[in-house]
């Protein structure tokens, strides 16, 4: 009896073991090293020295570009996650309708997901080049514009383009999460609502949104994490130029680490980013999930 | 399921043990080479060296030495090298542009330890001087390039103007070109990108008697000459004389514009004519001195990359390792191989023994070698060079968005000295 | 609806159509384009007004102007002077002389001009008339003794009326855009001498259209510096054409708002698909251009002038297939490992109760919160300790570990959504937990498992930063790192970069296409219950 009981108690952990071992070795260990590094002195070439307390963190916060970068990161995450959620949601609603060619449309929508970010960013970088970019080529040769347009005339516009590429590659994920949620909704709910005289918006807000919310929650949390940590788009398109004005936290700390060789503050910044992310994602998850449980 | 997992783990261990057990008396050198052009990787690892490649040929001629050679793109090379160093896997031989940090942190093996004397004496002495810290030579040059002003001859004839030699004339010429072509042609190319903004700093400050350092070799980035020079460059941009986005338009973009006849003048490396030909450009180009401020002398800008050897305390036989590195260097700089390497991407050589063959193959090399002789180089031997490089780029880019050049450079100087 | 009402409706609709056609005709006869032909332009630099050079050039210009007047042009001569004081205090000036004339052309004048726009206009007008004709034909015989249901033939004719009107509507912007291409883009390329092929024929046609016979055999001189602006006349034809569509819908007895919503739906889907596929179009056309054409600063060709298929051969020679194979192995291996570890964990999370379950879920999410870029040093240290650096196996484990969170969240959701009853039944039949998992649960959870597989495969396939640092042997590189060789210190070889990118995308897209159905149903379970 006793052995059976203890077996039952230990069984779950045994099932978790492979996963835990894998993550402990390959994820937790490197994370631990980052934490250790953030409190250590690191030379310009990367030699790790002794413990120096919070000096790296102080240096990081004192960096002149720190504020700009934080503000950029905020806009980056907000616009990419927010807009891709809105557009993805709308797209999923449309793709859930019955129409000719729906299968093809669904397959096409998934494309941006299937291409790596480095490639996607390179292509868009090429597309919006003023002098020989493909966007000008197409618009000119189709007669939509009369003269080539400089699509990246200021850094604000360049940042908007970077956000667009971020949105572009994030939409498929949201769309498919919502689409899966939509498919599970019972059609009779809508019929009943129609009988009660509900309009399109009523049905959207009162039936669709609440029922799709759980799948949106998961996709939003994962999106916040992925977008916050997204590196190749900005690195490929502007490298943060001019003077970190288009950098987000992650590209900034990369530049700081490998170009400016301020490796200590760079490591500290990555820990700061982690904490911010934990807090944001944590708050979001707790509030949303608590609400769901209440409902 | 767990069985499969166990097998997978076991397999992984066996493989790794196998890799460790494989090591015998052979010396293996880890080499990192930067990707200079489309032929680099083929030459070192593919079939780009008359049907064979550098590594195969070297290993055939030097039994007992294996090369683990890797060609890394410039975009990633600092990341790769720094991360490897931090993880205790520094390469044995590295080809890169900077060396001061590695030397100052005691990571490098002095050149005298591994470089055969005959080869050492073959290097241009003025190049070797660029790699000295506290009297010790830490790296040897692998190739160089010289920068000069290139201009579109036909355009200058059509507009009816002379090639500018001073800054004032440059502005006049730019305005004339703008007027004549209704702004369809950019008169002047500027690259202040994160990739190479330090070159722009050099072009203008050196042409105004300023520079990164003062006469004593101390940092002087905020000298009045420098401030004037950078303000002048920013002024060119603000007056609309240049390409529209200097912060993100790289050298490639400028070269492409020049080849297509959209840019009248550009400061570019000596490979530009080859590049233009590759791009199918049919423009008529010529070179001139980089314009300088009135009364100041024009200065050519040279860029040099280096080869250096890292220390490896764990190597069982240090002498044997040094000897192997020396053999690598001898093989690399052997004119039979080196001439192909330098001319392949149109660079300029760093050793005397290669000059004869190169000039014979392409007479224009001779003129470029003369230019190279009078070139100024970046102060890469100073420890703070990284910081200065990134600092001046940030200063330029901030100035582009309206910040005061004086304040930016003052702040950088204060950070360097204080 | 009573026959009377229907009859009235039909009449109104037909009347509307006729009015719309008339409106189109009127709009086309309004002035549509105002051209200003800079018949002759002469720039003279370093010239001061009144000096010798100026006078000689002025004579030259006047002579040319007279020549044009003799031919019957109504030209005027203008000059503009740009004066500058240079740095040496000297005044330089650039004098520009312009001989020019203004022309107005309306829509009808395009007919018979032999331009590509003429053809478009002919088709546009035919569609408009056909629409009207179909509407009338479809109403013949049904107007008087209105049957409740239209017979098949007239129903089809009435639909056709709508489609023809739609086609005409779509052709309006095509017509306008084509004119912009003709008068602005093509003309400027020919004028600059950037393109010479077919210049003569082109000049002759445009010359005939603008000047009639007065331009003579070679009107190219007269067409230099042609500028134009358009009035709203052509664009306004959209309004009557739209009215025609509405009328056709009305004739068909369809609900206008429903039909329009349907049309909007298709338009929206079309736009989304075009935008989504656009980067892939760019990759495709750029991958087979020549090196020079990838940097085409005059935007000469939408498509490569010559499709250079050997670009594919070139990248294959530079090792791309090997890199693709490596990527496949890394992604496949990573997926396998992640599933082997993830399935038991997800099973435990879904079917068992134990302490620390929530903590484990939180831990799993937290493990995702560091970007691999940040963890490079730690990973490099770890891999050298494990002697897994520079190995494909190492990358498999890293990718598997970084996708564990995904695997566990998705699989757990899938398992939770499947009722445990079947497994319990299997257990009663004598299966142990492992057997019930393998034989009952996994087959039922197949869609969710497939989804997870794809997710991890793609993430691993697209991983870049860690591979850059870990892999030092060229033959071990995945494709994402392999393509960096096409952007070097000396140049970016766009065509190879895009050809390789295309090759790297195709396998994943094919995988996706095969799995699309599973993907949505798999996400359902993962998303809703996760």
Number of C-alpha atoms within 13 angstroms, CB side, residue A64? 11
User: How far apart are alpha carbons B83 and B319 in whole angstroms?
Assistant: 27
B103 plus B72 within the same structural domain: yes
Q: B256–C84: do the CB atoms touch at under 8 Å?
A: no
Which chain C residues are within 8 Å of A116, Cβ to Cβ?
461-462, 464, 480, 504
The answer as to whether C214 is a domain residue is no
Look at residue B20 in the predicted model and tell me its pLDDT: 46
Determine the topology of domain A54-124+153-294 in CATH.
Answer: MetI-like fold (1.10.3720)
Decide: B93 and B309 in contact? Cβ < 8 Å: yes
C273 pLDDT more than 90: yes
Look at residue C355 in the predicted model and tell me its pLDDT: 84
Q: Which domain holds residue C51?
A: 34-107
What letter does residue C218 receive in the DSSP assignment? -
What ipTM does this complex have? 0.92
- Between the CA of residue C218 and those of C214, C223, C387, what are the distances in Å? 10, 10, 77
Look at residue B18 in the predicted model and tell me its pLDDT: 44
C129 plus C81 within the same structural domain: no
CATH of the domain at C415: 1.10.3720.10
C475 plus C503 within the same structural domain: yes
What letter does residue A132 receive in the DSSP assignment? T
Q: C297–B257: do the CB atoms touch at under 8 Å?
A: yes
CB contact set of A243 (below 8 Å; sequence gap of 6+): A65, B393, B394, B395, B397, B398, B400, B401
Residue C211 phi/psi, 5-degree rounding, is -110, -5
Q: How many structural domains does chain B have? A: 2
C150 pLDDT more than 80: no
Among B193-197, C27-31, C193-197, C296-300, the minimum mean pLDDT is found in C193-197
CB contact set of B337 (below 8 Å; sequence gap of 6+): B49, B54, B57, B331
User: Going by DSSP bridges, is the β-strand pair B186-188/B263-269 parallel, antiparallel, or unpaired?
Assistant: parallel
Q: Which domain holds residue B32?
A: 25-144+303-373
Query: Which among C299, C337, C406 is the nearest to A148, CB-wise?
Result: C299
Confidence of residue B21 (pLDDT cuts 50, 70, 90): very low
User: Among B76, B9, B20, which Cα is nearest to C384's?
Assistant: B20
Give me the percent of chain C exceeding a pLDDT of 90.
32
C12 plus C101 within the same structural domain: no
Q: What is the mean pLDDT of residues C94-102?
A: 80
Instruction: Give chains near C: 3+ CB pairs under 8 A.
Output: A, B
What letter does residue B292 receive in the DSSP assignment? B
B159 plus B258 within the same structural domain: yes
**Unique residue bearing structure tokens 């009144």:** C50
Mutate to test the interface with A, among C370, C465, C496 (most CBs of A within 10 A): C370
Domain boundaries, chain A: 54-124+153-294
C152 vs A126 pLDDT, higher one: A126
Closest Cα in chain B, distance from residue A17 (Å):
10
The answer as to whether B6 is a domain residue is no
Chain segment A180-220, per-residue pLDDT in tens = 778 767 778 888 888 888 888 888 888 888 877 777 877 78
Q: B271–C376: do the CB atoms touch at under 8 Å?
A: no
The size of the A-C interface in CB pairs under 8 A is: 280
The answer as to whether B237 is a domain residue is yes
Q: B180–C380: do the CB atoms touch at under 8 Å?
A: no
Provide the chain A residues 225-284 that lie in CB contact (below 8 A) with chain C. 225, 229-232, 250, 253-254, 267, 270, 273-274, 277-278, 281
Q: What is the mean pLDDT of residues B127-139?
A: 93
Q: What is the mean pLDDT of residues B363-368?
A: 84
C509 plus C487 within the same structural domain: yes
The answer as to whether B12 is a domain residue is no
The answer as to whether B100 is a domain residue is yes
Residue C112 φ/ψ region, left for φ over 0, alpha for ψ in the -120 to 50 degree band, beta for the rest: left
User: How far apart are alpha carbons B279 and C97 in whole angstroms?
Assistant: 36
B1 vs C504 pLDDT, higher one: C504
C43 plus C175 within the same structural domain: no
Q: What is the mean pLDDT of residues C163-170?
A: 95
Decide: B232 and B170 in contact? Cβ < 8 Å: no
Q: Which helix (H) or strand (E) holds A167?
A: helix A155-183
Residues of A with CB under 8 A from a CB of B: 18, 42-48, 64, 129-132, 150, 152-153, 155, 158, 237-245, 254-255, 257-261, 263
Chain segment B325-353, per-residue pLDDT in tens = 999 999 999 999 999 998 888 899 999 99
The answer as to whether C497 is a domain residue is yes
Quick check: C520 contacting A, CB < 8 Å? yes
A104 pLDDT more than 90: no
Provide the chain A residues 106-165 that lie in CB contact (below 8 A) with chain C. 106-120, 122-124, 126-127, 131-132, 134, 136-138, 140-144, 146, 148
Chain segment A219-268, per-residue pLDDT in tens = 788 889 889 988 889 998 999 889 899 999 999 999 999 888 899 999 99
Closest Cα in chain B, distance from residue C480 (Å):
12
User: Among B351, A30, B21, which Cα is nearest to C374's?
Assistant: A30
Positive or negative, the Cα torsion across B369, B370, B372, B373?
positive
Residue B248 exposed, middle or buried by CB count within 10 Å (0-12, 13-18, 19+): buried
Closest Cα in chain C, distance from residue B90 (Å):
11
CB contact set of A33 (below 8 Å; sequence gap of 6+): C375, C377, C378, C381, C382
B257 plus B338 within the same structural domain: no
Q: What is the mean pLDDT of residues A129-151?
A: 92
B184 plus B264 within the same structural domain: yes
- Between the CA of residue C421 and those of B89, C16, C427, C439, what are the distances in Å? 55, 66, 10, 14
Q: B71–C492: do the CB atoms touch at under 8 Å?
A: no
Among B159-173, C15-29, C374-388, the minimum mean pLDDT is found in C374-388
B104 pLDDT more than 90: yes
Closest Cα in chain B, distance from residue C489 (Å):
5
B161 pLDDT more than 80: yes
Q: B176–C45: do the CB atoms touch at under 8 Å?
A: yes
Give DSSP secondary structure letters for B135-198: TEE--EEEEEEEEEEEEEHHHHHHHT-PPP-BHHHHHHHHHHHHHHTTTSSEEE----STTTHH
Mean pLDDT, chain C, rounded, equals 85
C526 pLDDT more than 50: no
Which pTM was predicted?
Answer: 0.91
The answer as to whether C430 is a domain residue is yes
Look at residue B1 in the predicted model and tell me its pLDDT: 46
Confidence of residue B11 (pLDDT cuts 50, 70, 90): low
C251 plus C135 within the same structural domain: yes
Q: C84–B271: do the CB atoms touch at under 8 Å?
A: no
Number of Cβ atoms within 10 Å of the Cβ of B196: 15
**Unique residue bearing structure tokens 């008169």:** B187
B186 plus B216 within the same structural domain: yes
Confidence of residue C506 (pLDDT cuts 50, 70, 90): confident
Residue of chain C whose alpha carbon sits nearest to that of B305 = C489
Q: How many structural domains does chain C have? A: 3
Q: A259–B386: do the CB atoms touch at under 8 Å?
A: yes
Mean pLDDT, chain A, rounded, equals 88
The long-range contacts involving A248-256, CB below 8 angstroms and separated by at least 24 positions, are: A248/A69, A248/A72, A248/A73, A248/A76, A249/A69, A249/A70, A249/A73, A249/A273, A250/A73, A250/C371, A250/C373, A250/C374, A252/A65, A252/A69, A253/C374, A254/B79, A254/C373, A255/B194, A256/A63
Q: A97–C265: do the CB atoms touch at under 8 Å?
A: yes
Residue A11 exposed, middle or buried by CB count within 10 Å (0-12, 13-18, 19+): middle
Q: Using alpha carbons only, how large is chain B's radius of gyration in Å?
A: 24
CATH of the domain at B296: 3.40.190.10
Residue A20 phi/psi, 5-degree rounding, is -65, -45
- DSSP H helices in B260-314: 272-278
Decide: A112 and A168 in contact? Cβ < 8 Å: yes
Residue B407 phi/psi, 5-degree rounding, is -65, -40
Which chain C residues are within 8 Å of B41, Cβ to Cβ?
318, 474, 485
The answer as to whether B243 is a domain residue is yes
Which chain B residues are within 8 Å of A25, Cβ to Cβ?
none
Length of chain B equals 418
Quote the tokens at residue B61.
């001629």
The answer as to whether B195 is a domain residue is yes
Q: Select, from the ranges B184-188, C9-13, C37-41, C472-476, the one with the highest average predicted confidence (pLDDT).
A: B184-188
Decide: B211 and B202 in contact? Cβ < 8 Å: yes
Give me the percent of chain C exceeding a pLDDT of 70.
93
Decide: C310 and C499 in contact? Cβ < 8 Å: no
Decide: C240 and C20 in contact? Cβ < 8 Å: yes
B167 plus B287 within the same structural domain: yes
Mean pLDDT, chain B, rounded, equals 89
Chain segment B31-89, per-residue pLDDT in tens = 999 998 888 988 999 888 888 999 999 999 999 999 999 999 888 899 999 999 988 88
Which chain C residues are within 8 Å of B166, Cβ to Cβ?
87
Decide: A215 and C410 in contact? Cβ < 8 Å: no
User: How far apart are alpha carbons A92 and A173 in whole angstroms?
Assistant: 10
User: How far apart are alpha carbons B315 and B321 in whole angstroms?
Assistant: 7
Give DSSP secondary structure letters for B368-392: HHHHHHT-B---TTSTTHHHHHHHH
Number of Cβ atoms within 10 Å of the Cβ of A181: 26
B386 plus B276 within the same structural domain: yes
- DSSP H helices in B279-402: 318-333, 335-344, 355-361, 364-373, 385-400
B107 pLDDT more than 90: yes
First to last CA, chain A: 41
C58 plus C81 within the same structural domain: yes
User: How far apart are alpha carbons C476 and C470 in whole angstroms?
Assistant: 10
Query: Which among C297, C340, C484 is the nearest to B260, CB-wise?
Result: C297
C112 plus C102 within the same structural domain: no
- Between the CA of residue C315 and those of A142, B56, C152, C479, what are the distances in Å? 32, 22, 58, 11
Decide: B395 and B196 in contact? Cβ < 8 Å: no
Q: C384–B256: do the CB atoms touch at under 8 Å?
A: no
Mutate to test the interface with C, among A5, A10, A30 (most CBs of C within 10 A): A30
B144 vs C511 pLDDT, higher one: B144
Decide: C47 and C94 in contact? Cβ < 8 Å: yes
B251 plus B154 within the same structural domain: yes
Q: C43–B180: do the CB atoms touch at under 8 Å?
A: yes
CB contact set of A55 (below 8 Å; sequence gap of 6+): A41, A264
Quick check: C297 contacting A, CB < 8 Å? yes
Q: C472–B159: do the CB atoms touch at under 8 Å?
A: no
Closest Cα in chain A, distance from residue B220 (Å):
19
Look at residue C440 in the predicted model and tell me its pLDDT: 83
């Amino acid at each position: 009896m006793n052995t059976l009981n203890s077996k039952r108690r230990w069984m779950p952990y045994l099932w978790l073991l492979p996963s835990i071992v894998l993550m402990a070795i390959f994820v937790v260990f490197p994370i631990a090293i980052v934490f250790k590094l953030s409190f250590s002195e690191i030379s310009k070439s990367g030699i790790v020295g002794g413990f120096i307390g919070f000096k790296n963190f102080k240096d990081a916060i004192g960096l002149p570009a720190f504020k700009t970068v934080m503000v950029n990161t905020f806009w980056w995450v907000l616009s990419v996650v927010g807009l891709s959620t809105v557009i993805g949601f709308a797209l999923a609603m449309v793709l859930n309708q019955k129409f000719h060619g729906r299968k093809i449309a669904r397959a096409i929508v998934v494309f941006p997901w299937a291409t790596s970010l480095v490639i996607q960013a390179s292509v868009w970088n090429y597309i919006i080049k003023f002098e020989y970019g493909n966007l000008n080529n197409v618009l000119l040769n189709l007669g939509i514009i009369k003269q080539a347009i400089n699509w990246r005339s200021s850094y604000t516009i360049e940042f908007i383009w970077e956000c667009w590429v971020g949105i572009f590659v994030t939409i498929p994920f949201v769309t498919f999460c919502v689409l899966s949620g939509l498919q599970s909704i019972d059609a009779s709910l809508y019929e009943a609502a129609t009988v009660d005289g509900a309009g399109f918006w009523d049905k959207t807000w009162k039936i669709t949104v609440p029922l799709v919310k759980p799948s949106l929650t998961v996709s939003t949390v994962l999106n916040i994490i992925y977008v916050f940590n997204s590196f190749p788009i900005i690195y490929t398109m502007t490298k943060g130029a001019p003077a970190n004005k288009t950098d987000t936290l992650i590209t900034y700390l990369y530049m700081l680490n490998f170009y400016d060789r301020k490796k200590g503050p760079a490591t500290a910044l990555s820990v700061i980013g982690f904490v911010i992310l934990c807090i944001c994602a944590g708050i979001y998850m707790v509030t949303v999930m608590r609400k769901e449980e209440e409902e | 399921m767990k069985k499969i997992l166990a097998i997978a783990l076991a397999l992984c261990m066996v493989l790794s043990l196998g890799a460790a057990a494989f090591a015998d008396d052979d010396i293996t050198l880890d080499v990192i080479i930067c990707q200079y052009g489309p032929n680099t990787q083929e030459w070192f690892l593919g079939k780009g060296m008359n049907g064979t490649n550098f590594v195969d040929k070297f290993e055939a001629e030097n039994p007992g030495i294996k090369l683990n050679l890797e060609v890394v793109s410039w975009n990633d090379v600092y990341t790769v090298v720094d991360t490897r160093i931090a993880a205790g896997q520094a390469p044995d031989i590295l080809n890169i542009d900077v060396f001061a940090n590695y030397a100052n942190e005691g990571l490098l093996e002095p050149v005298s330890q591994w470089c055969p004397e005959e080869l050492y004496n073959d290097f241009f002495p003025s190049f070797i001087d660029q790699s000295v810290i506290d009297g010790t030579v830490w790296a040897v040059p692998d190739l160089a390039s010289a920068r000069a002003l290139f201009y579109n001859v036909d355009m200058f004839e059509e507009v009816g103007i002379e090639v500018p030699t001073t800054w004032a004339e440059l502005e006049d010429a730019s305005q004339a070109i703008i007027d004549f072509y209704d702004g369809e042609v950019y008169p002047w190319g500027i690259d202040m990108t994160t990739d190479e903004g330090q070159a722009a700093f050099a072009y203008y400050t050196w042409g105004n008697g300023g520079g990164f350092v003062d006469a004593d070799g101390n940092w002087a980035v905020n000298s009045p000459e420098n401030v004037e020079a950078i303000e002048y460059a920013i002024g060119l941009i603000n007056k609309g004389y240049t390409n529209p986005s200097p912060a993100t338009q790289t050298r490639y973009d400028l070269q492409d514009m020049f080849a297509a006849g959209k840019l009248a003048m550009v400061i570019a490396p000596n490979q530009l004519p080859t590049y233009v030909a590759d791009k199918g450009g049919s423009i008529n180009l010529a070179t001139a001195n980089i314009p300088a401020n009135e009364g100041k002398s024009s200065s050519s800008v040279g860029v040099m990359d280096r080869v250096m050897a890292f220390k490896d305390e764990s190597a069982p036989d240090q002498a044997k390792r040094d000897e192997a590195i020396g053999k690598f260097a001898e093989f690399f700089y052997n004119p039979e191989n080196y001439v192909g390497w330098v001319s392949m991407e149109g660079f300029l050589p760093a050793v005397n023994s290669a000059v004869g063959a190169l000039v014979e193959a392409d007479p224009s090399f001779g003129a470029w070698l003369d230019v190279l002789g009078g070139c100024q180089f970046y102060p890469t031997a100073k420890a703070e060079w990284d910081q200065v490089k990134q600092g001046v780029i940030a200063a330029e880019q901030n100035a582009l968005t309206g910040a005061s050049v004086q304040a930016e450079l003052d702040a950088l100087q204060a950070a360097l000295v204080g | 609806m009573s026959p009377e009402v229907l009859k009235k409706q039909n009449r109104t609709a037909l009347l509307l159509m006729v009015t719309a056609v008339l409106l189109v005709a009127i709009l086309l006869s309004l002035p549509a384009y105002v051209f200003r032909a800079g018949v002759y332009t002469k720039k003279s630099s370093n010239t001061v007004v009144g000096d010798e050079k100026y006078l000689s050039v002025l004579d030259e210009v006047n002579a040319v102007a007279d020549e044009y007047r003799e031919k019957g042009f109504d030209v005027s001569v203008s000059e503009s002077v740009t004066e500058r004081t240079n740095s040496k205090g000297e005044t330089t000036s650039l004098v520009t002389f312009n001989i020019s004339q203004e022309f107005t052309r309306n829509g009808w004048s395009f007919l018979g001009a032999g331009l590509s726009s003429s053809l478009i206009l002919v088709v546009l007008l035919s569609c408009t008339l056909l629409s009207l004709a179909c509407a009338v034909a479809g109403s013949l015989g049904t107007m008087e003794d209105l049957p409740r249901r239209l017979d098949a033939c007239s129903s089809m004719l009435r639909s056709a009326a709508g489609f023809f009107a739609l086609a005409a509507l779509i052709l309006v912007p095509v017509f306008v855009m084509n004119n912009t291409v003709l008068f602005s883009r093509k003309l400027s390329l020919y004028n600059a001498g950037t393109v010479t092929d077919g210049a003569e024929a082109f000049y002759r046609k445009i010359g005939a259209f603008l000047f009639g016979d007065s331009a003579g055999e070679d009107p190219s001189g007269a067409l230099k510096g042609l500028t134009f602006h358009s009035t709203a006349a052509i664009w306004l034809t959209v309004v009557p054409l739209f009215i025609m569509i509405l009328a056709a819908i009305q004739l068909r007895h369809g609900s206008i708002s429903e039909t329009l919503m349907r049309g909007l739906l298709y338009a929206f889907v079309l736009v989304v698909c075009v935008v989504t596929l656009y980067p892939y179009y760019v990759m495709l056309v750029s991958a087979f251009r020549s090196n020079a054409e990838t940097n085409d600063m005059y935007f000469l060709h939408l498509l490569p002038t010559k499709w250079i298929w050997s670009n594919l051969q070139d990248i294959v020679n530079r090792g791309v297939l090997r890199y693709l194979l490596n990527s496949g192995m890394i992604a496949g291996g990573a997926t396998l490992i992640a599933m082997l570890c993830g399935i038991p964990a997800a099973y435990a999370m879904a079917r068992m109760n134990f302490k620390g379950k929530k903590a484990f879920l939180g831990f799993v999410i937290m493990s995702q919160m560091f970007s691999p870029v940040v963890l490079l040093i730690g990973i490099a240290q770890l891999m050298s300790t494990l002697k897994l650096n520079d190995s494909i196996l190492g990358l498999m484990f890293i990718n598997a570990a970084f996708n564990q969170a995904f695997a566990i969240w998705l699989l757990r959701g899938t398992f939770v959504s499947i009722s445990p009853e079947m497994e319990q039944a299997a257990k009663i039949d004598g299966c142990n937990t492992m057997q019930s998992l393998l034989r009952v649960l996994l087959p039922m959870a197949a869609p969710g498992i497939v989804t997870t597989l794809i997710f991890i495969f793609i993430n691993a396939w697209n991983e870049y930063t860690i591979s850059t640092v870990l892999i030092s042997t060229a033959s071990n590189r995945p494709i994402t790192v392999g393509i960096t060789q096409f952007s070097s210190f000396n140049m970016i070889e766009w065509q190879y970069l895009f050809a390789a990118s295309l090759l790297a995308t195709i396998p994943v897209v094919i995988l996706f296409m095969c799995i699309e159905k599973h993907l949505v149903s798999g996400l359902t379970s993962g998303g809703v219950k996760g």
